[in-house]
Structure 1
Amino acid sequence: MGLKYRNILVAIDGSKEADWAFKKGIEIAKRNNAKLLLVHVIDVRSFALIDAYDTVIGDRAEKLAKDMLENYQLKAIEAGLQEVQYEIDFGSPKVRIPRELAKKHKVDLIICGATGMNMVERIFIGSVSEHITRYAPCDVLVVRTEKDS
């Protein structure tokens, strides 16, 4: 692996931490003249809690994700990036991002936000950023604080 990043994946989930990760991703991509891939994984585990799940819920979640990622894509292009793509996927984010999407897109850096889960939530759910760090085939940057202006 070289000293420059060529393909950067930013995990976007709508949180303020993901927004900070996105801002850092733009700066790193600009410095490295890298491609930026914005990824949102719709966690289908939450659908299991809904008795009357039908395609309307999935379609609505996908539409919201598409609108969000198109907005981020536009911001990245306005910031000066040339190659910005996005992908929406379904499944467990902590599995899909490091084990499948990073390999599929030959990513050499994943950037994600650190979420503020408490200890009980981490025990039962597991931290997405922790799983990404553990299973990613590349470098991972976990963003904890807002990017300095």
Structure 2
Amino acid sequence: MLQQYQHILVAIDGSYEAELAFKKAIAVAKRNDAELYLVHIVDTRAFQNVSSFDSAMVEQVTASAKKTMEEYKQTALDNGVKKINYSIEYGAPKTIIARDVPKQRNIDLIMIGATGLNAVERLLIGSVTEYVTRQAPCDVLVVRTDLENKPALATTRKPQATK
């Protein structure tokens, strides 16, 4: 018997790795006739260092995230996904992706991009992907390749030619 996923979560953060996860999640959602649930997390820890906290800043970040998420939603619909929803959350990305959203939305598969952090960044702040793979209550698929299953590092955006 094949595993049939019903609720697939993809975290959208603007990275190339998240984009790969999203593209592959579209294919998995279509094959499984599953709901694709996208989440964008505004890391509120970033605002703790701002001395004069400005609510307009949060509104601007939220408006930008909403526009981005609507574009992702439309892309999924255009590519044949029938059930798609999203949310914009506030807090620590690790726990929201690994625990909060899976519990609230009955997620049975998380598709997440491989970490884009270097070794020092992973040591200091830790990898969200690593945390999710250890803590999630459901299956986690770490996307490391493009749609042709070629290593993502080999297909990253080409640098622009210099004059």
Is 1:104 aligned to 2:115, yes or no?
Answer: no
Counterpart amino acid of residue 64 in structure 1: S
Contact 1:17/1:146 (8 A) holds in 2 = no
**1:20 alignment partner in structure 2:** 20
SS of aligned partner of 1:38: strand
* Contact preservation (8 Å) 1:36, 1:85: yes
Instruction: Please say which structure displays the higher CA radius of gyration.
Output: 2
| CA contact 2:113–2:144 (8 Å) conserved in 1 | yes
| Amino-acid identity (%) | 48
Unmatched segments (≥5 aa) in structure 2: 150-163
Is the 8 Å Cα contact of residues 17 and 116 (structure 2) preserved in structure 1?
no
TM-score of the superposed pair, with normalisation by structure 1: 0.95
SS of the aligned residue for 2:142 comes to strand
**Stretches (4+) displaced over 6 A:** none
- Structure 1: runs of 5 or more not aligned: none
Cross-structure match for 2:76:
76
Partner of 1:8, secondary structure, is: strand
**Cα offset for 1:116?**
2.1
Paired residues in the alignment total: 148
Q: CA RMSD in A?
A: 1.2
Q: CA shift at 1:123, angstroms?
A: 1.2
TM-score by length of 2: 0.87
Equivalent residue number for residue 124 of structure 2:
124
Contact 2:108-2:139 at 8 Å conserved across structures: yes
